[in-house]
A and B are shown apart, each in its own frame.
Chain A
Amino acid sequence: MKSKRVFFIVLLITAALLYISFFGLHLGSLNLKGADEMRFGIDIRGGVEATYTPKDLGRAPTSDELESAKSIIETRMDAANITDREVTIDSTNGSVIVRFPWKSDEEDFDPQKAISELGQTALLTFKDPDGNVVLEGSDVKKSYASVSQEDGSYVVVLELTDTGSTKFAEATGNLVGKPISIYMDDTEISAPTVKEQISGGIATIDNQKSLAAAKDLAAKINSGSLPFSMVANDANIITPTLGSSALDTMVLAGKIAFALVCLFMLFYYRIPGLVACIALTLQVVGQLLALSIPQFTLTLPGIAGVILSIGLGVDANVIVSERIKEELNSGKTLASSIDAGFHRAFSSVFDGNITVSIVSIVLMILGSGSMLSFGYTLLCGVLLNFVCGVTASRLMIRSLSGFKFLQKSYLYGARRIAE
């Protein structure tokens, strides 16, 4: 009787995934992140979210300008050692969105000041080894990434203004063989060595590791001539104490609610109820992994999506259990009742789940931020519902029904089991 083992295999897989979802899996190059490394939105963990738009700019910013603005913000965040962050460009609305968590150990961190400082105009300077400024950001007309004509390596090209050309020709004339350091605010972003005097108003910085690195440096250099500063009119700050206690409380509430649902299922549906509990655990675990592995940011509306999909999971299991009971009461054998029950329940679970996934896809396409998070968790939940609520449940019930001592009508909540 091979099929008897199936239940324990599913149980084992569930337990293994449960472990991974809590602690992650780190085997050589395989690095799956668990719940302990999950990304939480600022509404849960506390943090800062700010949308920067150009200040007093009468037109929409160009995409190059937004790239530069983004690179300014990123360089400053690097300098402030804020590495866990999201900086995204919203080109349709001409804004740069910044999100970062506020660690609870940073007590003297001033988020309001940080938001203001990130948006200020960048001060870009070129300095000689003695620290004298030889060129300023406004002397650079534009900068872009390119490929060297000679050896095909990636380079950054700087086009200088007329005054810039004169200043740079003089400086490079004196500094052949020495480095010129480029600073944004107080951060050194590059320190190329002068090979020869540059007088044509076109300078190149060679030896860029990749096209991305060249583009990044070009955007940073362009920031010096960015004609505007950025202000954050849309901003949200939540202290970590407020955020983390909300998370702890909700996790506790979730555990209690889950335990009660399991007790109810066990009490009411017996064996199908037990199977439902395992299937639901598998679904929740899958949902945690779907969030933590791709490092999707979980926000409060995301939790709402999780709640809804667990509700749908409960529903799928309830429908199946009720159907099996009905089939048993109508006088069928256990094996055929289980098959008929799943078969009949499938169409309603299928149509229900597809409809809900339509809603979640609409939300993912149209929504940003909170609606996107809700749509993503809901869609994952609905897909998992097929795997857990239908397939895994069926495998487990079929397997358990193979055990003689479990073939009792009261274990299925039915009045009788036909032989």
Chain B
Amino acid sequence: MKVIHFFKHRYIYFAISLCIILGGIAAALINGITLDIQFQGGTILKYTYVGAIDSQEAGSLVQTALGKTTNANEQTTVAKDEQMLIISLADNESITSQEQETVTSTLTKAYPDSQLALAESLSVQPYTGARFFKNGMLAIFLSFALILCYVGYRFRKIGGFSAGCMAIIALFHDAFVVTATFIIFKIPLNDSFVAAVMTVIGFSINDTIVIYDRIRENKTVMGSKTSTEELVDTSITQSMSRSINTTVAVFVSITIVYIFAQIYNIGSIKDFALPMMFGTVTGCYSTICIAGPLWTMWKNHEAKGAGKKA
């Protein structure tokens, strides 16, 4: 089997990743990062209706009735041929169910022929949202710390701490790519975001560990004279068909889910599946092109240091 030289071309991969990261940051500066009301607090009410409604007018009616700044706009779904009126409150305010009733009665009175019906409503206090967001972030960082400990212990034969650190860098890389997808496609960060990041982290860490496992095994098989570069490149090459097959299987599955969600306009699934599509690819890429070469560099650096001392 011909060994693929990943290490030799590492700067190309690093450059690609750097471009993606910079692209993500640029998108964040241009588009801005929007937190969904699940994190930020606020209220959104969605109504289905028939006929025509002037959303501007509807918005100002609700604003007068509630005494709170309101935005309103329309949305149509392709597959179901439905029209939706979306009422959202500015300033991240949450309103009580009594106030929600006021909104509904105001609208049904103003448009008696439109068969207005509440399809969905969500109201979150800013305080609750912030707590949810904080918990999500805490969960992500705590998982990272525990992964570092576990990998450090299980892969001590190949220098567990360095391997753990590189795995975490790959995870940050992937979490960033997923976040960038949300920002670039202007999807507000909501609980789909937490789920997508966690899922991609799960895939990515599994991927990295499969490669580390191969390195650990080959270290014994190939003997200590083999250079780290050769060891890592061989291990990655040997696992290549597995990496590709698994990634393809998962990617195709997620893509099917995404296509269905897109056709039937299921927002929450769409917001999850699209970033996941990028996530599965980057999960595999980061292991092969980032974690492996970076770890080799660390090991080479260590060896050089040891050589100087001697």
A residues lining the B interface (CB < 8 Å): 43, 50-51, 93, 111-113, 115-116, 119, 231-239, 241-242, 245-246, 249-250, 252-254, 256-258, 260-261, 264-265, 268, 300-301, 304-305, 307-308, 310-312, 314-315, 318-319, 322, 326, 344, 347-348, 351-356, 358-360, 362-363, 366-368, 370-371, 374, 378
**Contact partner of B269 among A250, A311, A318, CB < 8 A?**
A250
- Cα of A300 to Cα of B190 in the assembled complex, Å: 13
- List the B side residues contacting A322 at CB < 8 Å: 239, 241-242, 245
- Size class of the contact patch on chain B: 35 or more
| Stretch from B19-27, B50-58, B132-140, B301-309 forming part of the interface with A | B132-140
Minimal Cβ-Cβ distance residue in A for B94: A233
**A50 and B202 form a contact (CB under 8 A):** no
Complex contacts, B194 vs chain A, CB 8 Å:
301, 370-371
Contact A308-B202, Cβ < 8 Å, known A236-B122, A358-B146: yes
A253-B260, A300-B192 given; name 14 further pairs at CB < 8 Å: A231-B96, A233-B95, A249-B266, A250-B257, A258-B253, A260-B256, A308-B203, A347-B217, A351-B212, A351-B213, A352-B213, A354-B150, A355-B150, A359-B205
Kindly specify which of B3-11, B113-121, B175-183, B289-297 makes contact with the partner chain.
B113-121
CA distance A232 to B101 in the complex (A): 12
Give the one of B125, B151, B260 with max A CB within 10 A: B260
Which of the residues A310, A348, A352, A363 comes within 8 Å of B198, measured between beta carbons? A363
Interface residues of B (CB under 8 A from A): 80, 94-98, 100-101, 104, 117-125, 128, 131, 135-136, 138-139, 142-143, 146-147, 150-151, 154, 191-192, 194-196, 198-199, 201-203, 205-206, 209-210, 212-214, 216-217, 238-239, 241-242, 245-246, 248-250, 252-254, 256-257, 259-261, 264, 266, 268-269, 272, 276, 280
Contacts of A111 in B (CB 8 A): 118, 121
Rank and list the top 6 A-B pairs by shortest CB-CB distance, nearest first. A348-B213, A257-B253, A115-B97, A253-B260, A352-B206, A301-B195
- CB nearest to B191 among chain A residues: A370
Given A116-B97, A314-B246, A362 contacting B143 (CB threshold 8 A) = yes
Q: Would A311 and B203 count as touching, CB distance under 8 A?
A: yes
A362 to B149 CA separation, bound complex (whole angstroms): 14
Contact B257 A50 (CB under 8 A): no
- A245-B264, A260-B256 are contacts. A301–B191 as well, Cβ < 8 Å? yes
Whether A347 contacts B199 by the Cβ 8 Å rule is no
Q: Does B246 contact A239, Cβ atoms closer than 8 Å?
A: no
Residues in chain A near residue B249, CB distance under 8 A: 261, 264-265, 311, 314, 318
Contact B242 A236 (CB under 8 A): no
How many whole Å from B178's CB to the nearest CB in chain A? Answer: 12
Q: Once the chains bind, are B101 and A351 in contact (CB under 8 Å)?
A: no
A111 to B203, CA, bound (A): 39
Q: How far is it, in angstroms, between the C-alpha of A362 and the C-alpha of B238 when the chains are bound?
A: 33
A358 touches B125 (CB 8 A): no
* CB-based contact A318/B119 at 8 Å: no
Cα distance A141–B291 in the bound complex, in angstroms: 66
Query: What are 10 of the A-B contact pairs (CB < 8 Å)?
Result: A116-B97, A234-B124, A245-B80, A256-B256, A257-B252, A314-B246, A356-B202, A362-B139, A363-B198, A371-B195
Do A351 and B209 have beta carbons less than 8 Å apart?
A: yes
Given known contacts A246-B264, A257-B252, A352-B206, A112 and B118 CB-to-CB distance under 8 angstroms? yes
Q: How far is the CA of A351 from the CA of B207 in the complex (A)?
A: 11
> Which residues on the B side are within 8 Å of A311 (C-beta)?
203, 246, 249-250, 253, 280
Known: A239-B120, A352-B209. A253 touches B256 (CB 8 A): yes
Given A234, A362, A370, which contacts B94 in the complex, CB threshold below 8 Å? A234
> How far does the alpha carbon of A378 sit from the alpha carbon of B203 in the complex, in Å?
12
Min C-beta distance of B152 to chain A, whole Å = 12
A254: chain B residues at CB < 8 Å are: 257
Task: Indicate if the CB atoms of B203 and A260 lie closer than 8 Å.
Answer: no
A253 to B259, CA, bound (A): 9
Given the complex of chains A and B, what is the CA–CA distance between A261 and B259 in angstroms?
16
* CB–CB B198/A359 < 8 A: yes
* Bound Cα distance A406, B276 (Å): 39
> Are B139 and A366 in touch, CB under 8 angstroms?
yes
Please pick, from A246, A344, A358, the residue contacting B266 in the complex, using a CB distance under 8 A. Answer: A246
A112–B210 alpha-carbon span in the complex (Å): 51
Provide the bound-state CA to CA distance between A347 and B260, in Å: 37
Q: Which residues of the other chain, B, contact A257 by a CB distance below 8 angstroms? A: 252-254, 256-257
Complex CA–CA separation, A108 to B63 (angstroms): 26
Cβ-closest chain B residue relative to A351: B209
- Contacts known (A50-B97, A249-B260, A253-B260); A315 close to B124, Cβ less than 8 A: no
In angstroms, Cα B238 to Cα A363, docked, is 34
- B135 close to A367 (CB less than 8 A): yes
- How many angstroms from the CA of A183 to the CA of B163 in the assembled complex? 67
Contacts of B136 in A (CB 8 A): 367, 371
Within 8 Å CB of A250, what residues of B? 257, 260-261, 266, 269
Given A312-B202, A356-B206, A362-B146, A367 and B139 touching (CB < 8 A)?
yes
Check if A304 sits within 8 Å of B199, measured CB to CB: yes
Q: How far is the CA of A51 from the CA of B124 in the complex (A)?
A: 9
Which A residues lie within 8 Å of B98 (CB)?
116, 231
Q: A233-B125, A268-B245, A315-B246 are in contact. Are A356 and B199 (CB under 8 A)?
A: no
Q: Which of A112, A242, A249, A348 contacts B119 (CB 8 A)?
A: A242
Which residues of A have CB within 8 Å of B122? 235-237
A324–chain B nearest beta-carbon distance, Å: 12
Query: B205 contacts A355, CB within 8 Å?
Result: yes
Q: Which residues of A contact B245 (CB under 8 A)?
A: 264, 268, 318, 322
Chain B residues closer than 8 Å to A261, beta-carbon distance: 249, 252-253
A117 nearest in chain B by CB position: B97
Look across to chain A and name the residue whose beta carbon is closest to the beta carbon of B80: A245
Which chain A residues border B257 with CB–CB below 8 Å? 250, 253-254, 257, 307
Nearest A-chain residue to B95, judged by Cβ: A233
Known A-B contacts A307-B254, A348-B213; A355 and B147 likewise in contact (beta carbons under 8 Å): yes
Q: Evaluate contact between B142 and A362: CB separation under 8 angstroms.
A: yes
Across-interface contacts of B216 in A (CB, < 8 A): 347
Q: Which of B125, B150, B195, B206 contacts A315 (CB 8 A)?
A: B206
Which residues of B sit under 8 angstroms from A112, Cβ to Cβ?
Answer: 97, 100-101, 104, 118, 121
Are A358 and B117 CB-contacts (below 8 A) given A113-B101, A366-B138? no
Question: Are A355 and B206 neighbours in the complex by a CB distance under 8 Å?
Answer: yes
The one of B95, B154, B203, B276 that contacts A351, using a Cβ cutoff of 8 Å: B154
Point out which of B117, B209, B217 has the most chain A C-beta atoms below 10 A from its C-beta: B209
